[in-house]
Amino acid sequence: MLHSRFLASVALSALMLGTLPAASFAETPADTLIQAWSIDDIISLDPAEIFEFTASEIAGNSYETLIGYDPENVSDIFGKAAESWTVSEDGKTISFTMREGRTFASGNPITAEDAVFSLVRAVKLDKSPAFIIGQLGMTPDNVEANIVQTGPMTFDFKMDKAYAPTLVLYCLTATVASVVDKKLVMEHEANGDYGYDWLKTNYAGSGPFTIKDWRPNEAVILERNAAYSGDAPPMARVIYRHIPETATQRLLLEKGDIDIARNLTAVDIKALEADPEVKIESGVKGSLYYLGLNQKNQYLAKPEVREAMKYLIDYTTIADTIMAGKVKVHQGFLPEGFLGAYDETPFALDIEKAKALLAEAGLAEGFKVTMDTRNTPEITAMAQAMQQTMAQAGIELELIPGDGKQTLTKYRARTHDIYIGRWGPDFQDPHTNASTFAYNIDNSDEASAKPLAWRNAWDIPELSASTDAAMLEPDAAKRAEMYLAAQKEVLATGPFVIYAQEIEVFGERKNVEGVIIGPSFNDNNFAHVTK
Amino acid sequence: MTFATIGGRRGALWLRRIAASLGTMGVTFLGLLLVTFLIGRVVPVDPVLSVVGDRATQAQYDAAYRALGLDRPLIEQFWIWLTKVFQGDFGTSNLTTRPIADDIARVFPATLELATVSIVIGTALGIPMGVWAAVRQGKLVDQIVRIVGLVGYSAPVFWLGLMGLLLFYFKLDLISGPGRVDISYEYDFTPRTGLYLIDTAMQGAWGAFGNVFSHIILPASLLGYLSLAYISRMTRSFMLAELGQEYVTTARVKGVPEWRIIWVQALRNAAVPLVTVVALSYANLLEGSVLTETVFAWPGLGQYLTNSLQNADMNAVLGGTLVIGVIFVGLNMLSDLLYTLLDARTRDRQ
C-alpha cells in the first residue's frame, strides 16, 4: 500500500496528472488518540502558570488537583489528591488530609509536603493564575506561614477571613492547585526559581497521562502514566496536532487520519452531520459571549441606551443559525451549571421597544458608534448580524476589525466604544465572574485592579460591596440568592450585553467512545477513551 | 612590472571589494533590524499580554513589563538587544518560552525542505516550458504556457491548497494529508538535520521516506507551480531576446543544429539573468509561505513568524528577520558568484 502511494506521489510530481488508484484506508493506531486543535496559545506547561484553554486541558489530563468535582454535576465536590478536610470553628482554617499510598509518575510518593510545596510555589512564583489562591488572603510574603504541613499526610490552610467553604474548595479544583512532585521539581531548581524554568517545558505530575513532549506550533504528546493510581487509561498515547485551518481539520477527520477535530466551524459541523463515519458530541462550556459598552462614551453611558442595546440583539438567530449549535442563548453573568446561575432570558430582539427607549434618551435619530471586532469568522459574523439589527433602530455600528491581541490591547486601555468579547471563568465558583462583571472599587484610570466593569468604566461601589459579602457567606443557599440578585441587577442596568454561552463541539470518528466534555477545559477528559 | 606586484595589487583590490561589501551588508542588516524593531514597537499590540495573559494583576503585569525591558527608551532597548545578538544570544520567545535560536533551528528546516523541493520542481519544469514557449512564440504552446503562468499568478494559494488536498488526498487518495509525516512513522527515524527526506534516507528508513515524500509532494508542487509561473515567464522573455541576436542567425547560417542553438547557445546566455530569477524565487520560498503552511499544517518559518508578529513577540520576529536577511544576502552573493562562472565578461571586468 505504501509502495503504491509512494509511486503515485512520484507520478503526481511529474506532471500532477497521476491517476494511479491506490486503495488505502487511513486509520490512526488503535492505542493512540489523535486530535487536531489549534494549540499555538500554549506558553507554559507549569501548572503554576497555565491559564490557556489548551494547556489547562493538558494539565487536567496529566496532573491531579487537591479537590475535584463531577463534570456532570458541578456541585458534587470530592477530594482528589486530598482525601478529606475539616473547617475550623472560626471558618478561617481548613485542615486537609492527603490520600495514602499514591505516587507521582516519577515513583516518588505523594505527601502533604508536595501539596504544601505546590500551593506555596504557585503563590511565590506569582504568575497569572496565582490570584486564585492569593484572593484567599495568601501573599508571597505570608504564604509560608499560612499553608503549613502538620504531619506527613496533613496540612493546614489558614486564611485572613472566613471565606465561603465552597469558594475555597472550588479554588482548589483549579489547575493552579495541581500537586507537583517536589523532589523532582527541586532537582531542577536554579536561582531560587522553584524549578520554574524546567517545569514550563517538562512534567512532574501524577495524572492518568504524562506529558512526553511539547513541540510549539506542532504537537503535544501525552503518554499513559504507568504509575497512575486510578484505572490505567485504555489509550497508550494522546496526541494533539496543531492544525490551524479548520477546513484541513475536517478533511483529516473525514479521511480518518485524526480521531477528533476540535475547531470545526458551524458550516463544517452541518456538513459532517451527514457523514456516517463521524459523530458530533458537545458539552456546555463556561465561556460567555458579550458586548462591553464603554461608559466613557456619551451615548452608551445613558441607562436607556444600555437597555435598548439589549433589545437589539437577535439572540436566537445568532445561537441557532450563525453559530449553529456552538452556543446557546444565555444572559446572566454566571454560566449555566454554576452555583446561583440565572438561566432566564428576559431579553429578545424588539426593535420597537429599543426605538422607544432611544427616544426616551433623546436619541430618536440614533447615533454612531464603533465596535472593536476580533477578525475570526464567527465573531465577525455575529458582529455583522448585530450591525444589521442595530441599524433598524437608527444606530450606525461601525466594525473595527483587528487581531485578537490588538482588540484586547485597546479594550484593556478603555479606548473602545463597544467591544465584542468572550469571557471564560477562571474556576468553578460564582465569585470568578462576579468579581469581574459586578466588581469595580476604583474607576480611575490608574486603578490597580481592572475587572471587566472597570474596562467599561462602570462605577458600582454598592454592587462591589455585595460581591465582597457573597464571598464570605457560609450558607450555600443564601450565597446563591446573593448571586441571583447581582445577576438581575447587571442584566437590568449593566453595560454588558451577555448574549450567549459557549457549547464546545467535538467532531469524532464514530468508533471513539468515552470522551468527557466538561464545563471547563481542564475537565475535558480522555482517561477512559476507547476506540 | 613584475607578476608579483600585479598579484599584490589584485589582492589589495579584492580585499577592498570584500571590505566594501561587508560594510554594505553590515549597514543593510542594521537598517533592516532597526526598522523591524521599530515596526514591532508601533504595532498596536501589547507584548506583555502574551506573557501574562488577560487576567494578570497590575503587579504581575508591571513585573513582566520590566522583565521585557519595555520601561526603557526605545533606542536603549534596541541597543541591548543588538549587543546580546553579537554575543550570540537572540533572546527567548515569549510564546514558546524557548531560546529563539532553538525555535528557528526547529522551524527553519521544515521550510528549507519544502522550499528546496518546490524550487527544484519550479525550475525543472519552468525553464523548459519558458524555452518552449519562446521557440513557438505566438503558437498554441506559447498561449498554454502563458495561461498556466497566469493561473499560477492569480489563483489564491490558500484555495489551490485546499482544492489540491480535496482532490489528491481526499478523493483520489494518491498522497498523504497535511503535516510532515504520519504519526505511525514518526518514531522510525531520528530527526538530525530536520530535513526529513534526508534524515530518513540517511537512516535507511525507506518506509518513512516514502511517507515524508507523499506528505511534501503536494505543498511542494503547489509552491513549485507558483515559482514555475514566474520562472517560465521570465525564461520566455530572456529567450526571446537571445533568439533575436545576431549570433543565433550566424549559427543558423553556419548550419548548427537548431536544438543546439536553442538549448546550448541561447539558453546559456539566457541563464545568466535567470540565475537571479531562480535565486529570488528560492529566497521568497525560504521566507516561508504562511498560507501554504497553514493549510498543510506545516510547522515552518512562515507560521512561526506570523504567530510571533500577531503576539508582538519581537525577539522571535527579529530573529526570523535576521535569518531571512542572511538568506537574501547569501543567495544574492551566490548568484553573483554563479554569474562569474557563467559569464566570462564579468570575470574579465575585474
* HEC sequence for chain B: CCHHHHHHHHHHHHHHHHHHHHHHHHHHHHHHHHHHHHHHHHCCCCHHHHHHCCCCCHHHHHHHHHHCCCCCCHHHHHHHHHHHHHCCCCCECCCCCCEHHHHHHHHHHHHHHHHHHHHHHHHHHHHHHHHHHHHCCCCHHHHHHHHHHHHHHHCCHHHHHHHHHHHHHHHCCCCCCCCCCCHHHHCCCCCCCCCHHHHHHHCCCHHHHHHHHHHHHHHHHHHHHHHHHHHHHHHHHHHHHHHCCHHHHHHHHCCCCHHHHHHHHHHHHHHHHHHHHHHHHHHHHHCCCHHHHHHCCCCCHHHHHHHHHHCCCHHHHHHHHHHHHHHHHHHHHHHHHHHHHHCHHHHHCC
Chain A residue at shortest CA distance from B299: A218
Q: Which pLDDT tens digit goes with each residue over A226-255?
A: 999 999 999 999 999 999 889 899 999 999
Confirm or reject contact between B123 and chain A (CB < 8 A).
no
Out of A2, A40, A218, the one facing B207 most closely (by C-beta) is A2
Out of B96, B173, B310, closest to residue A24 by CB: B173
Q: Which of A494-498, B192-196, B245-249 has maximum average pLDDT?
A: A494-498
- Gap between the Cα atoms of B209 and B215, Å rounded: 10
**Tens-digit pLDDT profile for residues A146-184:** 999 999 999 999 999 999 999 999 999 999 999 999 999
Instruction: Name the minimum distance, in Å, from the CA of A37 to any CA of chain B.
Output: 11
Q: Count of CB contacts below 8 A, A vs B?
A: 165
pLDDT given for residue A16 in this prediction: 40
Q: Give the one of A11, A406, A449 whose C-beta lies nearest to B44's C-beta.
A: A406
Taking the C-alpha atoms of residue B115 and residue A339, their distance in angstroms, rounded to an integer, is: 55
A2-243+517-523: CATH, from 3.40.1360.10, 3.40.190.10, 3.30.70.20, 3.40.50.2020: 3.40.190.10
Given a cut of 60, is residue A460 above it in pLDDT? yes
B19 pLDDT higher than 50? yes
Percent of chain A with pLDDT over 90: 80
Nearest CA in chain A to B291: A245
The pTM of the full predicted model, rounded to 2 decimals, is 0.86
Mean pLDDT along residues A351-368? 95
Closest residue in chain A to residue B209, using alpha carbons only = A6
pLDDT at B80 over 70: yes
Residue of A175, A250, A251 to mutate when probing chain B, most B C-beta within 10 A? A251
- Residues of chain A with pLDDT > 70, as a percent, come to 95
Of the ranges A76-85, A514-523, B30-39, B271-280, which one carries the lowest mean pLDDT score?
B30-39
Give Cα separations from A111 to A121, A179, A480, B271, B346 (angstroms): 15, 10, 35, 73, 77
Query: What is the identity of the amino acid at A317?
Result: T
B contact residues 203-262, partner A, Cβ 8 Å cutoff: 207, 210-211, 213-214, 217-218, 220-221, 225
Confidence class of residue A140 from pLDDT cuts 50, 70 and 90? very high
What chain B residue is nearest to A36 in terms of C-alpha separation?
B297
| Residue range A348-365: mean pLDDT, rounded | 96
Quote the distance between the C-alpha of residue B71 and its chain's center: 36
Q: Tell me the chain B residues in contact with residue A52 when contact means C-beta distances shorter than 8 Å.
A: 53
Nearest Cβ partner for A251 among B94, B169, B183: B169
Q: What is the CATH number of domain A285-504?
A: 3.10.105.10
User: Could you tell me the three cell numbers for B304?
Assistant: 512561526
Interface probe for B, chosen from A56, A218, A287 (most Cβ of B below 10 Å), is A218
Single-letter code of the amino acid located at A24: S
What ranges do the domains of chain A cover?
A: 2-243+517-523, 285-504
pLDDT reading at A24 higher than 50? no
Contact B58 A449 (CB under 8 A): yes
Most A CBs within 10 A among B42, B49, B54, hence the mutation to make, goes to B54
At A316 the pLDDT is: 95
Q: Please tell me which residue of chain A has the smallest CA distance to B59.
A: A448
Mean pLDDT, chain B, as a whole number? Answer: 85
Give the range among A54-68, A355-369, A378-392, A397-411 with minimum mean pLDDT: A397-411
The larger pLDDT score, comparing residue B216 to residue B315, is at: B216
A7 pLDDT above the threshold of 80: no
Res. A342: pLDDT tops 80: yes
